[in-house]
Amino acid sequence: MAKIASDFLRDESGATAIEYALIAGGISIVVITAVNSIGSSMNDRFVTVNERLK
């Protein structure tokens, strides 16, 4: 039983995939936040242009 527990604690076979998934998740959060911010800014500019054209 102790050997099974020891082998389980030393096994790192899925760690790399989990690390890449966390990195991809973090990058996607940054991209979504940036796009959302840029989208709001662009919307404000288009509203201003629309008002000036009227």
pLDDT for residue 15: 81
pTM for the whole thing? 0.59
Residue 1: predicted pLDDT: 85
Give the pLDDT score at 13. 76
C-alpha torsion angle, residues 24, 25, 26, 31 (rounded to 10): 90
In the predicted structure, residue 53 carries a pLDDT above the cut 90? yes
d(CA 33, CA 39): 10
Q: What is the pLDDT of residues 2-51, one digit of tens each?
A: 888 788 778 777 788 899 999 999 999 999 999 998 998 899 999 999 99
